[in-house]
Amino acid sequence: MPLTITSANGTHQFTVQVAATEEQQQRGLMFYRSLAPNQGMIFPYDPPENIAFWMKNTLIPLDMLFIRADGTIARIVTAKALDETPVPAGEPVAAVLEIRGGRAAELGIREGDKVEWGR
End-to-end CA distance of the chain: 10
Distances (CA, A) of 106 to 90, 99, 109: 24, 12, 8
How do strand 39-49 and strand 10-18 relate by DSSP bridges? parallel
Over range 74-99, report the average pLDDT.
97
From CA 67, how far away is CA 75, in angstroms rounded?
Answer: 7
From CA 101, how far away is CA 47, in angstroms rounded?
Answer: 27
pLDDT, tens digit, for every residue of 2-51? 999 999 999 999 999 999 998 999 899 999 999 999 999 999 999 999 99
3-state helix, strand, coil in the chain (%, to 5): 10, 45, 45
Residue 115 pLDDT: 98
Residue 118 pLDDT: 85
Over range 73-78, report the average pLDDT.
98
pLDDT confidence bin for 119, thresholds 50/70/90: low
Over range 89-93, report the average pLDDT.
97
CATH class of 2-117: mainly beta
Please name the residues in contact with 99: beta carbons below 8 A apart, sequence gap of 6 or more. 14, 35, 39, 40, 62, 63, 65
Which residue(s) pair with 11 in the sheet? 6
Which residue ranges make up each domain of the chain?
2-117
